[in-house]
Chain A
């Protein structure tokens, strides 16, 4: 750093000897020292090294067993089931969530109340309890029938056959997800400046097009970070489905270590898969967010 003007010279005290003018710009700058920062760095580094050392040298991790199972067919299949549960849960959950969000934003008090009631109920019931309800649906309703409400029916299904374990799981995850998705979408829509809808209305743009072309793309900016959280948490949440004996990742790992007793390395197999796929989702999130950031920067 250099000073742009000469230091002030005191001219009033003419009798005193004039101080020599100093060019501060030519002096060496001594930065402030931070000894405690260095102490903290040293302590943290020691702890990290200890942790890494234990991780590598502790034979309890059984990295050999880990390597055997990590890409085993049964595990890959289980990962695939987990991904399917996540995909269907997210897709159906957000589809229903968007409907619920617009119901809650509607001018009709009835639609608002129904949407609020749904969100209230499904946020209040623990996912695991809800999943077990769906799994036991056949106990409550023996047959599902399509037809005139309260009138004659056209087709009917056995609930037992219709709601298999997998569809019960997808249904449970999606209905649960919809409650959260609805609030996220509603938040995103509310974050769009009301002038945008007004301008679209003033231009005579059709109602659906106003939503699809003007409101939702802008709402996506605030929806996406929260939605990504939800997808990731649903992805990991699929492990709850193991209570229904569905062959997803966590269930399969439990089955294997129940047989061979190698609990720790098999938990690591599941952990590493969850971490890898979550990272992939985070990367995807980055690109999707960049797409919807069009026009926001100079």
Chain B
């Protein structure tokens, strides 16, 4: 079997005395969609944030497309990467936040073009053309010159997705992308993510949208108290959960 796109091995992470991740092992193959479910405080978001090194792990390791995240191995030692190298790694891992985190003082187009211009040093003309294409793809071609505050939550999140795509990442991470949205705006964002899934983008999505998981996920992972309780095809985990914790959680959200 080929190496997985994402390989998480025995990852532990604590904040002070609180152990948030208690030994996580996870593999995600290229082109697959993994949906992570679980109650709040189960460590889902922290796991996602360790994958692009927004959080450092305490022990264990993570690799993306064969490259260690945040470290370089040489001989019998692991060397911590310099910030510049970490930033370079992150350009290959797109991250979409729950609160969008668009840059409010930049227009939609500038938001999308910023990272390709400054992090990858792409030529301006090509970058702006590409940004417009991406906006068209998320259905917001007419909003290029708007500021984020002039958009609805759903539109802002679609811009944030276009911004992540602009770096042409190998992997997309979504941290509860619809949790901050009004209910009627959830659908438009999920549609964009589904569309990406159909095109074979490798994604890890932390969400509470069970319907989305059932429809789009190749693998569903259920986490609780910093551990992966069970994982498998959506049909198995969602319809025939084996673990009591999973059953209890699903009975509450379904």
Q: Name A203's closest neighbour in chain B (CB-CB).
A: B115
- Residues from chain B with a CB closer than 8 A to the CB of A205 are 87, 114-115, 118-119
Contact A206 B54 (CB under 8 A): no
Given contacts A206-B87, A296-B149, contact A196 B119 (CB under 8 A): no
Contact A203 B149 (CB under 8 A): no
Query: From residue 266 to 298 of chain A, which have CB atoms closer than 8 A to chain B?
Result: 292, 294-298
Interface string of B77-103 (1 = CB under 8 A from A): 000000110011111010101010111
Given contacts A198-B97, A295-B149, contact A204 B103 (CB under 8 A): no
Q: How long is the Cα–Cα vector from A199 to B103 in the complex, in angstroms?
A: 9
Given contacts A294-B147, A295-B148, contact A206 B101 (CB under 8 A): no
Interface string of A180-203 (1 = CB under 8 A from B): 000000000000010110111111
B94: min CB distance to chain A, Å: 8
- Residues from chain B with a CB closer than 8 A to the CB of A166 are none
- Residues from chain B with a CB closer than 8 A to the CB of A199 are 95, 97, 101-103
Q: How long is the Cα–Cα vector from A1 to B9 in the complex, in angstroms?
A: 71
Given contacts A204-B91, A295-B147, contact A195 B115 (CB under 8 A): no
Q: Determine whether A209 belongs to the interface, using a CB cutoff of 8 Å to chain B.
A: yes
Q: How long is the Cα–Cα vector from A209 to B103 in the complex, in angstroms?
A: 13
Contact B87 A204 (CB under 8 A): yes
Which stretch (A147-155, A213-221, A248-256) binds chain B? A213-221
Count A/B pairs, Cβ under 8 Å.
78
- Residues from chain B with a CB closer than 8 A to the CB of A298 are 149-150
Contact A217 B119 (CB under 8 A): no
Q: Name B120's closest neighbour in chain A (CB-CB).
A: A204
The 8 Å CB contact of B149, one of A195, A198, A218, A297, is A297
Q: Name B98's closest neighbour in chain A (CB-CB).
A: A195
A206: min CB distance to chain B, Å: 6
Contact A207 B114 (CB under 8 A): no
Q: How long is the Cα–Cα vector from A117 to B147 in the complex, in angstroms?
A: 41
Contact A196 B101 (CB under 8 A): yes
Query: From residue 138 to 183 of chain B, which have CB atoms closer than 8 A to chain A?
Result: 147-150, 163-164, 167
Q: Determine whether B46 belongs to the interface, using a CB cutoff of 8 Å to chain A.
A: no
Contact B149 A209 (CB under 8 A): no
The 8 Å CB contact of B90, one of A204, A209, A294, is A204
Q: Name B95's closest neighbour in chain A (CB-CB).
A: A202
Contact A204 B119 (CB under 8 A): yes
Q: How long is the Cα–Cα vector from A295 to B159 in the complex, in angstroms?
A: 15
Q: How long is the Cα–Cα vector from A201 to B49 in the complex, in angstroms?
A: 12
Contact B87 A201 (CB under 8 A): yes
B150: min CB distance to chain A, Å: 6
Q: How long is the Cα–Cα vector from A196 to B118 in the complex, in angstroms?
A: 16
Q: Determine whether B202 belongs to the interface, using a CB cutoff of 8 Å to chain A.
A: no
Q: How long is the Cα–Cα vector from A218 to B103 in the complex, in angstroms?
A: 9
- Residues from chain B with a CB closer than 8 A to the CB of A217 are 105
B134: min CB distance to chain A, Å: 14
Given contacts A195-B97, A202-B95, A213-B114, contact A207 B103 (CB under 8 A): no
- Residues from chain A with a CB closer than 8 A to the CB of B164 are 203
Q: Name B103's closest neighbour in chain A (CB-CB).
A: A214
- Residues from chain A with a CB closer than 8 A to the CB of B91 are 203-204
Interface string of B44-73 (1 = CB under 8 A from A): 000000001010000000000000000000
- Seen from chain A, the residues whose Cβ lies within 8 Å of a Cβ on chain B are 193, 195-196, 198-207, 209, 213-214, 217-218, 292, 294-298
18 intermolecular pairs with C-beta atoms under 8 Å apart: A196-B101, A198-B97, A202-B52, A202-B95, A203-B90, A203-B115, A203-B164, A204-B120, A204-B167, A205-B114, A207-B84, A207-B87, A213-B118, A294-B147, A295-B104, A295-B105, A295-B106, A295-B147
